[in-house]
Amino acid sequence: MKINNNIGPSGINPYKRQMNKLDAAANTQNKKADKVEISSTAKEMQQLSQVSVQRQQKVEELKLQVENGTYKLNPKETAKSIINFYHNK
């Protein structure tokens, strides 16, 4: 009488096949993933570009107000701002 140790139609124990899949999945999880870091200089550049966009929007608003004649200038605030600018230098 001949006894085969092979279980299943492919000759591989289905339990071992499942365990091999689990081991392979565990090995891929243990590997380090790719990592991207943004330098502080790049972060500063991003913030500066946001400031530029805000300034451009403010300039466009003021331009429209001047063209429409709705821009009101406060001479006292302007003078105060000029004085503060030169005193802080």
Q: Whole-number mean pLDDT of the chain?
A: 79
> Which pLDDT value is given to residue 67?
94
12, 18 Cβ separation under 8 angstroms: no
Span 15-21, mean pLDDT? 73
Spatial neighbors of 8 by CB under 8 A, at least 6 apart, are 14
Of 45, 47, 71, which Cα lies nearest the Cα of 58? 71
> Which pLDDT value is given to residue 65?
93
Is 36 strand, coil or helix? coil
Of 16, 14, 33, 34, which Cα lies nearest the Cα of 24? 16
